[in-house]
Amino acid sequence: MIESLFSMQDKICVVTGGSRGLGSYMAQGYLEAGAKRVYITARKAEACISAAAELNQYGECIAIPGDITTSDGLQHLVSELISREQHIDVLVNNAGAGWGAPFGEFPEKGWDKTMNVNVKSPFFLIQALAPLLKKERHCGQHRQHYQYWFHCWDSRQRSR
Ligand SMILES: NC(=O)c1ccc[n+]([C@@H]2O[C@H](COP(=O)([O-])OP(=O)(O)OC[C@H]3O[C@@H](n4cnc5c(N)ncnc54)[C@H](OP(=O)(O)O)[C@@H]3O)[C@@H](O)[C@H]2O)c1
């Protein structure tokens, strides 16, 4: 039961910022759990491509380098995904950035950079990929997982 609960069997996943850090760990985790394909993206093309090559030992990982904070970069990612996949099961908006500055000195440049990558890009990426995300084929399975968790929670509540 545990294995099937956490299985990513046959899932198509997209992890932004998958070239290093938490994003690359998520990509690896999805592949190890049986994902059919994982796409990763990041600005530094070489690092993105070599991360995908490294991740290929766990399953199929494809690099689509680009800057998702620009319209061109985001559109490139979206059109590559649309041309390759009929549907997407998982989108992880992991790419992000912080800006360290005291409150009184926080610059507009820092606000724009962090808001663009952390807020604006995820919104427009979800908007552009919504048609593919809505075609997700495993609703029944998700519902079963949810029902199982609810059943466990409910049984515990009742036994208290
Ligand atoms: N690590 C933590 O303790 C922690 C805690 C709280 C929240 N978070 C959040 O979790 C996420 C991942 O954290 P992390 O520590 O793994 O970050 P990280 O090591 O800095 O990795 C960020 C990833 O995002 C990519 N990226 C950044 N800007 C991008 C852009 N404009 N377009 C495309 N890709 C972009 C980076 O590649 P390029 O530089 O090549 O673009 C890299 O692959 C971030 O959103 C972060 O804010 C992390």
**pLDDT (tens digit per residue) in 13-58:** 999 999 999 999 999 999 999 999 999 999 999 999 999 999 999 9
pTM over 0.85: yes
**CB neighbourhood size of 114 (10 A):** 15
CATH topology of domain 2-159: Rossmann fold (3.40.50)
Return d(Cα 143, Cα 93) in angstroms, integer.
23
Ligand 1 centroid–CA 150 distance in Å is: 33
Show the ligand 1 pocket: residues with CB < 6 angstroms.
16-17, 19-23, 41-44, 47, 67-69, 94-98, 117
Phi and psi at residue 37, to the nearest 5°: -155, 145
Mutate to test the pocket of ligand 1, among 16, 24, 43, 70 (most ligand atoms within 8 A of CB): 43
Q: CA distances (Å), 17 to each of 28, 63, 101, 129, 145, in order?
A: 13, 10, 23, 17, 28
Atom of ligand 1 nearest to the CA of 93: 45
Atom of ligand 1 nearest to the CA of 48: 40
In the prediction, which pLDDT does 160 show?
Answer: 54
Specify the length of the chain in residues: 160
**SS3 category, 26:** helix
Question: Which residue lies with its CA nearest to atom 42 of ligand 1?
Answer: 17
Ligand 1 centroid–CA 7 distance in Å is: 25
Please give the torsion angle defined by the CA atoms of residues 73, 33, 36 and 23, in that order, rounded to the nearest 10 degrees: 10
Ligand 1 centroid–CA 127 distance in Å is: 21
**SS3 category, 82:** helix
Residue extents of the structural domains in the chain: 2-159
**pLDDT (tens digit per residue) in 98-116:** 999 999 999 999 999 999 9
**Read out DSSP for 95-123?**
--------GGG--HHHHHHHHIIIIIHHH
